A and B are shown apart, each in its own frame.
Chain A
Amino acid sequence: MTSTAKAVSLHLCIIVVLFALNFLLPEYHRGILSRVMVLSVFAMGYNLAFGYAGLLSLGHAMFFAAGLYGAGLTIYHLGWSAWPALAAGLGAGAILALVAGFLALRTRGVAFMIVTLMFAQAFYLATLYFTTYTRGEEGLVLPQSARNLSFPGANLDPTVPATRYMLALALLTVILFLLLFLVRSSFGRALVAVRENEERMRMLGYDVFANKLAALVVSGVICAAAGAAYAILFGYAGAGFASIQYSILPLLWVLLGGAATTLGPIVGTLFMFYAVDVTSSYTNAYMLVVGIALILLVLYFPKGIAGAVRARWLPWLP
């Protein structure tokens, strides 16, 4: 088999396994997995900017929150139905990523980290400032009726756990294959080259700024898609999702799973969720366990889980 065929069949296998798990898992774990799938889309979006293009942003919470509020506010205040609200979320993410990227990409390295952090912080404070509309930390609880996704011939209600799981899986599948295609395209290769040596790419005649901006916008839109999906599937939009913590979490998930691997973000998100879940059932000091796990992982698996697998056993892993 060629490496392309291997990669595509591996990804298909994972989707099939996730599909089967819907019927095998008990209710509690199915709930966790639905959430993990939506949040790993967030991590996958982050991975495109951080892992592939080398843009260490500390402000991706604003893109997630743009999607969350783009969908949440239009449903709550304008009474839009789910599909236009999803589109509004994506649009909000795209515009924000375009503006933030246009400004922030003038800087690099540490300054880029801080500028994105500041933008995200300003966005977070804005969600608190306009508390009449967003209800701040308390958040909006979206009415069930507005969250139905109408397809020709069917009307899917995301409050039903199985439906919610399938919708999350559908989103994950679309984004996973989109990214698999993107990172193997010439655009994806150019991003990796920019990450490795920006000067050389510029000398070869590539427009480095345009490539980075495109990467950031696509990344922002994917994160916004995760946010909008979160609002629609789980019916909640709160300022907590715009806080710094949600900028650091995707970084953590990606680094754990393996930066610049297509499956790493899913592995990392899943690992983190279950690390917290398992340890919090034994002790309430779960942060300690997570902290120690992080340090051990970074000491002994610096490339992340999928990265280590690629380095040792499966060199074709995308």
Chain B
Amino acid sequence: MAFGPYLLLAGLEGLVTAAVLALMALGLSLVFGVMRVVNVAHGEFYMLGAVLAWWFASLVSGHPALGFLLALIASPMVVAAIAFAADRLVLRRLNYEPEATIVATIGLLYIIQQLALTFFGPEARPVQPPFDMRLSLPWFGYSAYKLAVIAASACLILATWIMLTRTRAGLLMRATQSDRETAQAFGIPVDRVYAGVFALGAGLAALAAVLIVPIQQAHYLMGQDPLLLSFIVVIIGGLGSLRGTVVAALLIGLSDGIISMFFSPTLAKMLATLLVALVLVFRPQGLFGTAAR
């Protein structure tokens, strides 16, 4: 294959990574921005989304699209409900203190991981893609499902953006984000907003996982790498900046796809992490964030 098509393939693979990463990082960014909670268990919500997707899909016999559709709806709902309960039972009682919540979410991480290992098992399990089609480009064939993932992720990000900027719920979230106490003084039920945001964030991670699970398999340790990547994305993009998060996800996803196709993946990751660290050192507010107040 010539250089051009090779680059195109790498770019497409990178776009798929970026699409999923953007969704997951969006959830992390919301939780981080509105609640100031560093949610270490975010990767486990992602993993839980994938594992539940496998379970729901295996319940339905017949056309794989039916099972996938059920998983797409039910899995994020269940994960959001679990996150809601975790917020109510644990995080709220800790008053959202940064250090205490880190330890609590590490605890949550252990619990979810162990439950997944016990009930799901250590092996990786596939989910059938809803449709099996190959688009034949002049140089190589490409899975249409992967392109659908990119489109679906773009739609979901747009929907989240509309929700945040055009609806009452979004207004409440933004008000809570910019000043918690003033929001409370104006009668905004901050507690409920927090629980809702935590559930929404987890739901977005689960959605990302359901989309990716026909491409990668569901595995109980699959949450670790995406967690680190989404932290990078959130920080590079700037806290609470939706536009920044999306642009950073594109940047990281694409460069990850392209660099690791041409160089040793380990070296690529090493250089990328160092680069990210240096960006942060010299521009701590992220590339798109405004300076901290």
Contact = CB atoms under 8 A, between A and B. Distances in A.
A267 to B, nearest CB: 16
B93 A299 contact: yes
Contact of A113 (B38, B113, B282): B38
Contacts of B239: 110
B104 A121 contact: no
A106 B274 contact: no
A298 B104 contact: yes
B-side binding surface: helix, strand, loop or mixed? helix
A119 B108 CA distance: 26
B111 interface: yes
Which of A106, A118, A129, A285: most chain B CB closer than 10 A?
A: A118
Which of B94, B114, B239: most chain A CB closer than 10 A?
A: B114
B228 A121 contact: yes
4 A-B pairs with the lowest CB-CB distances in the bound complex, closest first: A291-B110, A294-B107, A291-B111, A118-B277
A115 B280 CA distance: 7
A115 B100 contact: no
28 contacts: A104-B277, A107-B284, A108-B284, A110-B38, A111-B284, A114-B231, A117-B228, A117-B231, A118-B277, A118-B280, A121-B228, A122-B270, A129-B267, A252-B103, A252-B106, A287-B111, A288-B110, A288-B114, A290-B110, A291-B109, A291-B110, A292-B111, A293-B107, A294-B106, A295-B90, A295-B111, A298-B103, A299-B94
B274 A118 contact: yes
Contacts of B106: 248, 252, 291, 294
Given A106-B282, A114-B235, A288-B115, A294 B103 contact: yes
A126 interface: yes
A293 to B, nearest CB: 8
A210 B232 CA distance: 28
Given A129-B270, A295-B107, A118 B113 contact: no
Which of B100, B264, B277: most chain A CB closer than 10 A?
A: B277
B267 A255 contact: no
B237 to A, nearest CB: 12
A287 B220 CA distance: 13
A118 B275 CA distance: 9
Interface of B: 32, 38, 40, 90, 93-94, 97, 99-100, 102-104, 106-111, 113-115, 117-118, 228, 231-232, 235, 239, 264, 266-267, 269-270, 273-274, 276-278, 280-282, 284
A68 interface: no
A159 to B, nearest CB: 34
Contacts of A214: none
A-side binding surface: helix, strand, loop or mixed? helix
Interface in A253-279: 255
A99 to B, nearest CB: 12
Interface string A195-223: 00000000000000000000000000000
A146 interface: no
Interface in A231-250: 244, 248
B87 to A, nearest CB: 13
Nearest to A296: B107
Contacts of A302: 94, 97, 100
A180 interface: no
A118 B229 CA distance: 10
A113 B104 CA distance: 17
Given A285-B118, A291-B107, 7 more contacts: A107-B284, A110-B32, A122-B274, A125-B269, A251-B103, A288-B110, A295-B104
